[in-house]
Amino acid sequence: MEETVDQFISFLRDIKNVSENTAVSYKRDLLKMQDYFLKQGIESEDKITATGMNTYILWLEKSGCASATISRYIASMKSYFHYLLQTGKISSDPAMLLKNPIIEKREPRVLTVSQIDLLLSMPSGDSNKEIRDKAMLELMYATGIRVSELISLHLDDVNLQTGYIVVGKDKAKERIIPIGDSARRAVYRYLTEARDALLKERVSELMFVNCSGKNMSRQGFWKIIKSYGRQAGIEDEITPQMLRHT
């Protein structure tokens, strides 16, 4: 079954042009499903029934999966089995009638005014890393963009003269977002004082790079936020999502 999943992931990447993060998420969800059915003695997708799918969802719930996670699993499986049906690999869709669990909506966790002021003031030194970190934190706070959008920004996505950034240029949901003076100053300083030194003679179109001059990762930026959160004495664990909502 794993080979069929790989074919589906290739379809998502090559035909649907999904992001790499989305493709990885789909594959992880589907391999988890396959592992469950293999343990039930089912070795082919055309042997999976609607009853079997419902049993799998119940197993996920009893295993402690959150409703939002189960909804993501269901979305992955619906797309997968629709693909198998369209390509003639199965004769009926066992996931067609699956329904998402009710998700309790919660208010997003945010930082207080004093906490965000403290956090933004932490990278205050003159090292190339701190100058970069200051620019990244200020820009994310000013715009509310996602981490994936922040680390994917290209140089030509940022217009400091007019004061805006462009995200989502490769998709239909392009957004033009204004940025304030604090973020503009921080990004300008990064571009003029730190970026070339961090690149170490490498060439990159990306706005932000790590200390080795390579692409910044989501995990890398998360560690940056957590580190400055500890330095600021903020007891709550700060996540990129929390900073975005703030």
Burial of 16 by CB count in 10 Å (0-12 exposed, 13-18 middle, 19+ buried)?
exposed
High-pLDDT (> 90) share of the chain, %: 61
11 contacts 83 by C-beta, under 8 angstroms: yes
pLDDT of residue 172: 60
pLDDT in tens, 183-211: 999 999 999 999 999 998 889 999 999 99
pLDDT of residue 121: 93
SS3 177: strand
CA dihedral (33, 34, 36, 41) positive or negative: positive
Across the chain, mean pLDDT equals 90
pLDDT in tens, 122-147: 998 899 999 999 999 999 999 999 88
pLDDT in tens, 70-96: 999 999 999 999 999 999 999 999 999
pLDDT in tens, 55-75: 999 999 999 888 889 999 999
Output the pTM of the full model. Answer: 0.59
Work out the pLDDT band at 242, boundaries 50, 70, 90. Answer: confident
Domains of the chain: 2-86 (1.10.150.130), 113-245 (1.10.443.10)
137 contacts 231 by C-beta, under 8 angstroms: no
